[in-house]
């Protein structure tokens, strides 16, 4: 898991061949005018999801993990806190992994919480379980799904 500010994104571009494309999209797109929805940038290998969602409490949040995709979650507006726990330490799954949706949820509590203000992002790899959208009020964010 990586937490950083958008101004430091250049430091992480070399971690995956599609990371530079995702960060270029962030710089070149008016993300505030991107309607909520799912947009394919490079087929199924690089997808951006625009979300405007109400924040939820820590008690309501569920850890989730993905096998096929790395997430770059960028907060645009609102106060978001994201939970994190190593996937290897998640012992209480809600169900089996959904291959169709590439997601598995857990009853486990996050090991830590990260306050993610606007213009900051978290990168969650398949070994990172995460609990997004914790906060008060509306949260506007974009999530980049990058094929492993």
User: Which CATH number is 34's domain given?
Assistant: 2.60.120.370
Helix (H) or strand (E) holding 24: helix 19-28
pLDDT band with cut points at 50, 70 and 90 for residue 8: very high
User: Could you tell me the two tokens for 96?
Assistant: 């089996």
Structure confidence at residue 103 (pLDDT): 97
SS3 at position 85: strand
Structure confidence at residue 82 (pLDDT): 98
User: Could you tell me the two tokens for 117?
Assistant: 């203000």
18-50: pLDDT as tens digits: 999 999 999 999 999 999 999 999 999 999 999
Q: Which residues partner with 77 through β-bridges?
A: 140
Helices (H), 71-124: none
95-121: pLDDT as tens digits: 999 999 999 999 999 999 999 999 999
53-112: pLDDT as tens digits: 999 999 999 999 999 999 999 999 999 999 999 999 999 999 999 999 999 999 999 999
- Overall number of domains in the chain: 1
Helix (H) or strand (E) holding 19: helix 19-28
Domain range holding 112?
A: 2-147
């Amino acid at each position: 898991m990586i937490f950083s500010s958008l101004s430091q994104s250049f430091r992480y571009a070399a971690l995956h061949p599609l990371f530079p494309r995702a960060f270029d999209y962030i710089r070149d797109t008016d993300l505030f005018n991107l309607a909520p929805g799912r947009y394919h940038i490079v087929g199924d290998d690089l997808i951006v999801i625009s979300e405007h969602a109400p924040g939820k409490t820590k008690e309501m949040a569920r850890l989730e993990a993905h096998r096929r995709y790395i997430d770059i979650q960028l907060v645009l507006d609102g106060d978001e806190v994201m939970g994190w726990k190593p996937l290897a330490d998640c012992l209480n799954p809600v169900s089996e992994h959904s291959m169709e949706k590439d997601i598995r949820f857990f009853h486990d509590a996050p090991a830590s919480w990260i306050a993610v203000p606007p213009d900051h992002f978290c990168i969650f790899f398949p070994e990172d379980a995460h609990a997004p959208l914790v906060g008060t009020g509306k949260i506007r964010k974009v999530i980049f799904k990058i094929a492993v």
